[in-house]
Structure 1
């Protein structure tokens, strides 16, 4: 009898853990209704995105070591992403763009016209919208701007590139 009771408790525990994992899974969402101040001191919103081109939203922090490592590993392969609109969004006090300017300079992103870097200021709208817990957070959308995939933890470079290639 004790063994049966122990088995039932174990099954109930595993079921609860699985249910919690399902609840925290990344859920498909439309592109966030962002408004960012770019490194060029202009405003950028989803209305500025080109129609019929895939979009990758990367929520990052310029001083995040994971974000820096991701960009360091991606940098030699950025030409593989040239047909994808990449919007890198961070937060900053009073829309301070110095950090994103330095990040853009450090990774030579100015020569990639498909990259847009900006800050949402202190609104945290995008961070809340995607429920970002760690950076970098990556949301991928196809050419119809429909959600395809998200990475809510630091992804491997190969996984990002493979997923990006699949966007159409």
Structure 2
């Protein structure tokens, strides 16, 4: 019986110590030339959207955000007066939520008056986090900018000033 307890204790100690050790950060792969994430999001209008819905020959900007993220809110506040810059671009804003809950993204869309911009699509990927994993998103907002051939030209993996985002979009 003592041997069983000793073995069981070793297993528990090994498991606990393994759970506490910091994991190595995943190797950051280059996202240059990475195609648009194969997203499948439920939009604020309760419609499913995928990359197949994107217009051909239009640049695309993917924004991975969180409605309650202060950096994301500040970004939208700063971008609001510059919305004309994005008129010829498809902007896909993706977040995650429990059970595809749309309340937070509907409030975000309302707060920033995004419903009047038909090129802005806001949706949730639920708990799949496919887009988050695809781009290896560590902080929000994450932004990926694609040219009209849907080739990635620039990405921002941390909060970025609105003027920097606008300058990158103007080069597309």
TM range (shorter): 0.7 to 0.9
Residue aligning to 1:158: 163
* Count of residues paired in the alignment: 145
Partners of 1:26 and 1:152 within 8 A in 2 = no
Matched with 2:17 is none
- Matches of 1:30 and 1:108 in 2, distance apart? 29
TM superposition score normalised by structure 1: 0.84
Tell me, in whole angstroms, the C-alpha distance in 2 between the residues paired with 1:109 and 1:42.
16
Are positions 1:27 and 2:31 aligned together?
Answer: yes
Residue 113 (structure 2) aligns with: 108
**Separation of aligned partners in 1, 2:49 and 2:29:** 29
Residue from 86, 100, 103 that aligns with 1:98: 103
Instruction: State the 1:27 CA deviation.
Output: 2.2
Find the counterpart in structure 1 of residue 88 from structure 2.
83
Q: Which runs of 4+ in 1 moved over 3 A?
A: 23-26
- Residue segments in structure 1 that go unaligned for 5+ positions in a row: 1-22
Larger of the two Rg values belongs to structure: 2
